[in-house]
């Protein structure tokens, strides 16, 4: 694993940490590529059932893209940089395992775009979140306009992107931008407890849920319902489904093996 991304396993939970604290974990090309490799590795590792993403230090989750590195890009290079970030973030949201963003500080620009690709987001009460690209004469390039629209709706998405002002964690929770807000002191423990609970669920069922919700968000209702029914049927072919229903009938805790 690249030193830009630290990886640590806690049981079936893999914690990935963006490790550029001197740059507030800002995203440059090398960091995006290292994240892509880290998520590919987590997806391929059968021992990993959930992933937590965070930033090193106490100040920032990811404070944005590396502006110093971006400032010299040509128009063609900037488009390529955008596509690189979009490929990574598409990879993250299509992960077959749940990904939880542990937002421990600033999540701005590319950092918020990174968090929005995670399936769940828990923020410290001290966190600040926003898409300030307009203040640089730019607009979000890693999918921020599209995912923000889908998460918080048109009015809030326009407010956050046109004004560029960050919001605090409480406002982010009101908007539906994050799932939970906890005190900074409790953030790690609360996030790891949630991730451990996810890791204890049936992996194939979670994969079906992630796929169904992702597909349903991008198609019409009838197509989404048909896809859900197909995934529901496939679940009955798994050992986990038999174990889960048997455990329910026998009034015991199920032991899922991902088969």
Structure confidence by residue, pLDDT tens digits, 82-92: 999 999 999 99
Nearest 5°: CA angle at 127, between 38 and 144?
Answer: 60
Same domain? 194 vs 237: no
Same domain? 156 vs 49: yes
Domains held by the chain: number: 2
Please, what is the average pLDDT of the chain?
A: 95
Catalytic residue at 174?
A: no
Which domain does 159 fall in, by range? Answer: 5-199
Structure confidence by residue, pLDDT tens digits, 33-73: 999 999 999 999 999 999 999 999 989 999 998 898 889 99
- Which CATH number belongs to the domain containing residue 228 in this structure? 1.10.12.10
Same domain? 87 vs 188: yes
Residue 99 lies in a domain: yes
Residue 256 lies in a domain: no
Residue 257 lies in a domain: no
Same domain? 177 vs 226: no
Read off the pLDDT band of 190 (50, 70, 90): very high
Q: In terms of pLDDT, which residue wins out, 15 or 216?
A: 15
Exactly one of 3, 33, 113, 239 is catalytic; which is it? 113
Q: Residue 129, Cβ neighbours under 10 Å: how many?
A: 25
Exactly one of 33, 133, 243, 250 is catalytic; which is it? 133
Same domain? 92 vs 159: yes
Read off the pLDDT band of 217 (50, 70, 90): confident
Same domain? 115 vs 240: no
Same domain? 209 vs 154: no
106: pLDDT strictly greater than 90: yes
The model's pTM = 0.93
Residue 210 lies in a domain: yes
Catalytic residue at 113?
A: yes
Q: What separation in angstroms does the CA of 239 have from each of 156, 178, 202, 203, 258?
A: 43, 34, 10, 11, 8
- Residue 240 CA neighbour count, 13 Å, CB half: 16
**Residue 24 backbone class (left: φ over 0; alpha: ψ -120 to 50; beta: rest):** left
Cα-atom radius of gyration of the chain, to the nearest Å? 19
Read off the pLDDT band of 2 (50, 70, 90): low
Structure tokens at 121: 């987001």
CA-CA-CA-CA torsion for 81, 116, 146, 96, nearest 10 degrees? 90
Same domain? 91 vs 182: yes
Same domain? 175 vs 242: no
């Amino acid at each position: 694993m690249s030193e830009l991304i630290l990886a640590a396993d806690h049981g079936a939970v893999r914690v990935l940490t963006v490790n550029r604290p001197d740059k507030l974990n800002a995203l440059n090309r090398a960091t995006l590529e290292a994240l892509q490799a880290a998520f590919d590795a987590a997806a391929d590792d059968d021992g990993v059932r959930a992933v937590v993403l965070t930033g090193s230090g106490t100040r920032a989750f990811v404070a944005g893209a590396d502006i110093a590195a971006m400032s010299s890009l040509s128009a063609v290079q900037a488009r390529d940089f955008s596509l690189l970030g979009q490929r990574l973030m598409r990879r993250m949201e299509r992960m077959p395992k749940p990904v939880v963003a542990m937002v421990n500080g600033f999540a701005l620009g590319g950092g918020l775009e990174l968090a929005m690709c995670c399936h769940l987001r828990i923020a410290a009460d001290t966190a600040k979140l926003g898409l300030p690209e307009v203040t640089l004469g730019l607009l979000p390039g890693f999918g921020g306009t599209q995912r923000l629209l889908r998460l918080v709706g048109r009015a809030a998405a326009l407010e956050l992107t046109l004004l560029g002002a960050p919001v605090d964690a409480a406002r982010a929770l009101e908007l539906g931008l994050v799932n939970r807000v906890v005190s900074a002191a409790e953030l790690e423990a609360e996030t790891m407890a949630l991730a451990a609970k996810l890791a204890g669920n049936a992996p194939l069922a979670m994969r079906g849920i992630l796929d169904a919700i992702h597909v349903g968000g991008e198609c019409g209702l009838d197509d989404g319902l048909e896809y859900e029914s197909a995934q529901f049927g496939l679940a009955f072919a798994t050992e986990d489904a038999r174990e889960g229903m048997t455990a329910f009938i026998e009034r015991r805790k199920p032991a899922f093996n991902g088969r």
